[in-house]
Amino acid sequence: MVPPSRTSVRATYETIADSYAAARHVPWPEVAEFIDALPANRRVLDLGCGHGRHTAVLADRGHRVLSVDFSRRLLEIGRRTAARSGWGARIEWIEADAMAVPVRPRSADACVCAAVLHHLPSRDDRVAVLREIERILRPDGPAFLSAWAIDQPRFAAIARQRVSYPPEVRGDVEIPWPMPDGSAVPRYYHLFQERELESLIIESGLEGETFFRSSGNVFAKARRRG
């Protein structure tokens, strides 16, 4: 398949925003564990925050959050939810491309970037986002990253069929998002291969610390060098 433009990916999320937010409200336990290990009162970048399911955990734990997403509709949903809470004032909602976040260098103590890298349509885009994280983090600031893995059981047939494909396109797929009216909207994914996330982290200038698999995802904890 031909990967979509970033504009097309953004349009997809504008289309599915309401049904996506209704279906994706439980924080990932792996992300919550990372958040719970942070020192108190940090300033945290939630990059690709969507409607804020992990932003809510960060703010509820007392952190100040820079919540960044390119979907205006998802941010609207997040703002509305936060306004009904007791922690909404701790959040700054920012509509921006993950490759060009309008905040100063070294302005965040930590970063969460969950389920974002696998929606970026090229390797250059993925490295650019990681470099932006590196720019924004303060020295020794940790980042927690996740992406879908190609070797999870439901993609076994795809992995077998594409074993001879060039590595840069082997994991490119479209997975439909079911809409309430019975229609479906295709969503682009780049399924990550063995050691692919490690390679991107090294190229970006971040320092990889921990890598593990869980629930069909590859997770990484990285850090901005001091």
The mean pLDDT of 14-38, rounded to a whole number, is: 97
The mean pLDDT of 175-201, rounded to a whole number, is: 97
Report the number of distinct structural domains present in the chain: 1
Give residue 203's pLDDT: 97
Q: What is the pLDDT of residues 37-84, one digit of tens each?
A: 999 999 999 999 999 999 999 999 999 999 999 999 999 999 999 999
Query: Do the domain assignments include residue 26?
Result: yes
Q: What is the pLDDT of residues 143-181, one digit of tens each?
A: 999 999 999 999 999 989 998 998 888 999 999 999 999
Question: Domain range holding 112?
Answer: 6-223
Give residue 168's pLDDT: 86
Query: Is 90 exceeded by the pLDDT of residue 204?
Result: yes
The mean pLDDT of the chain is 96
Give residue 60's pLDDT: 97
Of 83, 85, 82, which is closest to residue 49 (Cα–Cα)?
82
The neighbour count for residue 152, using CB atoms within 10 Å, is 15
Backbone angles phi, psi at 161, to 5 degrees: -65, -30
CATH number at residue 202: 3.40.50.150
pTM of the entire predicted model? 0.96
147, 80 in Cβ contact below 8 A? no
213, 149 in Cβ contact below 8 A? yes
Query: Do the domain assignments include residue 190?
Result: yes
Query: Is 90 exceeded by the pLDDT of residue 1?
Result: no
- Tokens 């922690």: give the residue: 87
Query: Is 90 exceeded by the pLDDT of residue 2?
Result: no
Query: Do the domain assignments include residue 25?
Result: yes
| Residue 47 vs residues 75, 152, 154, 172, 210: alpha-carbon distances, Å | 12, 25, 27, 22, 19
62-90 burial code (b ≥16 CB/10 A, e <16): ebbbbbbbbbebbbbbbeebbeeeebbeb
Query: Do the domain assignments include residue 1?
Result: no
pLDDT classification of 17: cutoffs 50, 70, 90: very high
The pair of three-digit structure tokens given for residue 221, joined into one six-digit string: 């904890």
Give residue 47's pLDDT: 98
> Could you tell me what percent of the chain has a pLDDT over 70?
100
